[in-house]
């Protein structure tokens, strides 16, 4: 099949949907949704999230040196989308969305109480890339709802039911069927 | 529901599955699978992929200043997994997997001919983070198989059928159902 060229587009499949928690100067908790993000190091365990410096979250994270990465379920699509559209400068998004800010015991940032997965992160790097600056957080702790663990006590992606963002049709999708075990299906036989 | 603490784990949902193309010093094309990766900037359009410096791909990309990001479909799970398990130092993975290296017209790196999506990238930054170094590539072009476009000519995530990696049970999943339109479902009413 022939290929079509789309020019220099920031399109990969899948993009994640992370809802990032931070505190403002006045102590108001804020959330903002980010898809330009991902794990970036195993030791120290770290996650990178890119921000336009005009965003309130950028200021908050730079000032407090901390953030949380909260992973919404498909049932939270409206809240995740809202948190990406509107600025915390216009009002408290936790309050507007009926979500609970839970003070992290480890870092100076709020977790989203209703979401099944939270990473508690301490800012360790900022890299200016152009219109975005990448903020890298050391992951101090992964917290997961007991309701979304599998029978071996591991976080179960089917129960977490995270959102996936597709930049082609600008839509959210869920996770589908199990395809294969990793580090197994590709092993040489015999 | 109570939360369970897992300590400092590099676990988010979803992780992407990208197969990165590069050329070795001897001109042998190589692929390696990466999930510690994601879009990191809109202008310049850029994607970040983290590598242990011991990996052949790291040397290749640093020397050639270029790489491709190739996105496998669920039908390529075996190849994607193989490309993540074995090193190109032990043999040509394109050849072992029956995949076609296609020389990029834009950068000094090979694309995977059989995969539906390729980003052609020029190395613009390297950031040492610890055991991983993040290599940032400017996206010069997105190429997509015409067979996986929707009726409006946009890349269709359901037809691309990309792999998702779940680090909880270390397994690959597919993409599920449409949940909602982004930048729409969260808009205030009225």
Which tens digit of pLDDT belongs to each residue from A29-86? 999 999 999 999 999 999 999 999 999 999 999 999 999 999 999 999 999 999 999 9
Which tens digit of pLDDT belongs to each residue from A124-161? 999 999 999 999 999 999 999 999 999 999 999 999 99
Res B20: pLDDT: 98
Q: Do B182 and A165 touch (CB under 8 A)?
A: yes
Do A163 and B176 touch, CB atoms closer than 8 A? no
Judged by a CB distance cut-off of 8 A, whether residue A135 touches chain B is no
pLDDT at A110 over 70: yes
Closest CA–CA distance from residue B168 to any residue of chain A (Å):
5
Which tens digit of pLDDT belongs to each residue from B83-132? 999 999 999 999 999 999 999 999 999 999 999 999 999 999 999 999 99
Q: Is the ipTM beyond the 0.95 threshold?
A: yes
pLDDT at B190 over 70: no
- Break chain A into its structural domains and give their ranges: 15-173
Closest CA–CA distance from residue A21 to any residue of chain B (Å):
15
Which residues 61-120 of A have a C-beta within 8 angstroms of B?
A: 69, 71, 74, 77-86, 117-119
pLDDT at B1 over 70: no
Which tens digit of pLDDT belongs to each residue from B125-164? 999 999 999 999 999 999 999 999 999 999 999 999 999 9
pLDDT mean over A165-182 = 98
CATH 2.30.110.10 fits B15-173, yes or no: yes
Residue B167 binned pLDDT confidence (cut-offs 50, 70, 90): very high
Closest CA–CA distance from residue B25 to any residue of chain A (Å):
26
Q: Do B170 and A186 touch (CB under 8 A)?
A: no
pTM (predicted TM-score): 0.98
Q: Annotate chain A with three-state secondary structure.
A: CCEEECCCCCCCCCEECEEEEEECCCCCEEEEEECCEEEEEECCEEEEEEECCCCHHHHHHHHHCEEEEEECEHHHHHHHHHHHHCCHHHCCHHHHHCCCEEECCCCCCEEECCCCEEEEEEEEEEEECCCCEEEEEEEEEEEEEHHHECCCCCECHHHHCECEEECCCCEEEEEEEEEEECCCCCCCCC
Q: Do B173 and A181 touch (CB under 8 A)?
A: no
Residue A1 binned pLDDT confidence (cut-offs 50, 70, 90): low
Judged by a CB distance cut-off of 8 A, whether residue B159 touches chain A is no
Q: Do B141 and A48 touch (CB under 8 A)?
A: no
């Amino acid at each position: 099949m022939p290929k079509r060229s789309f020019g220099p587009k920031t399109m990969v499949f899948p993009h994640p949907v992370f809802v990032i928690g931070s505190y403002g100067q006045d102590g108001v908790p804020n959330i903002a949704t980010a898809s330009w993000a991902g794990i970036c190091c195993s030791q120290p365990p770290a996650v990178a999230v890119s921000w336009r410096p005009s965003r309130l979250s950028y200021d908050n994270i730079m000032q407090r040196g901390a953030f949380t990465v909260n992973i919404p379920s498909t049932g939270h699509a409206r809240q995740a989308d809202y948190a990406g559209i509107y600025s915390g400068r216009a009002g408290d998004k936790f309050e507007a969305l009926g979500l609970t800010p839970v003070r992290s015991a480890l870092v100076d940032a709020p977790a989203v109480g209703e979401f099944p997965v939270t990473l508690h992160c301490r800012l360790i790097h900022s890299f200016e890339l152009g219109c975005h600056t990448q903020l890298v957080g050391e992951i101090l702790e992964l917290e997961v709802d007991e309701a979304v663990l599998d029978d071996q006590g591991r976080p179960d992606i089917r129960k977490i039911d995270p959102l996936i963002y597709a930049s082609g049709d600008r839509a959210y999708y869920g996770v589908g069927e199990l395809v294969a075990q990793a580090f197994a299906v590709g092993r040489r036989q015999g």
